[in-house]
Amino acid sequence: MTRRSKTKLGYNDRHAKSGITAPLPDIETFPNQYKGYEITIEIPEYTAICPKTGLPDFGTITIHYMPDKDCLELKSLKMYIHAYRNLGIFYENSVNRVLQDVVTACRPVWAKVTGTFAARGGLRSVIEARYP
């Protein structure tokens, strides 16, 4: 028996997959000079668009990682995050996409991306994705 996802209110696969393969700016890196330490980057001005309603989403993205050979370069990370501003993408997908792109860019020892999204309709979401 296969499990089929149930959709309500007109949500469909197009909405669910929105933004996950959209082209975004590259996140640049620079060579790490030390081992065994952690970096936390907090981005309090994250914005994107709900792929169903077209309404803006606001939140804070926190990237916490242990670098291996490379560290994330912050200006390129800022440009990468700003590219979400006009992108239709669900919270869950954006957090997982950021993690995927961070891991691709710098191949950290480990990484965690947390999205803390502003309350809408009385609900606030916190999404967390980890590597490995």
> Which residue ranges are tagged as binding site for substrate?
72-74, 91-92
Annotated binding residues? 72-74, 91-92
SS (H, E, C) the chain: CCCCCCCCCCCCHHHHHCCCCCCCCCCCEEECCCCCCCEEEEEEEEEEECCCCCCEEEEEEEEEEECCCEEECHHHHHHHHHHHHHCECCHHHHHHHHHHHHHHHHCCCEEEEEEEECCECCECCEEEEEEC
Considering the candidates 26, 57, 68, 106, report the single residue annotated as catalytic.
57
Considering the candidates 26, 50, 71, 106, report the single residue annotated as catalytic.
50
Residue 13 is among the residues annotated as catalytic for this protein: no
Residue 101 is among the residues annotated as catalytic for this protein: no
Enzyme catalytic residues: 50, 57
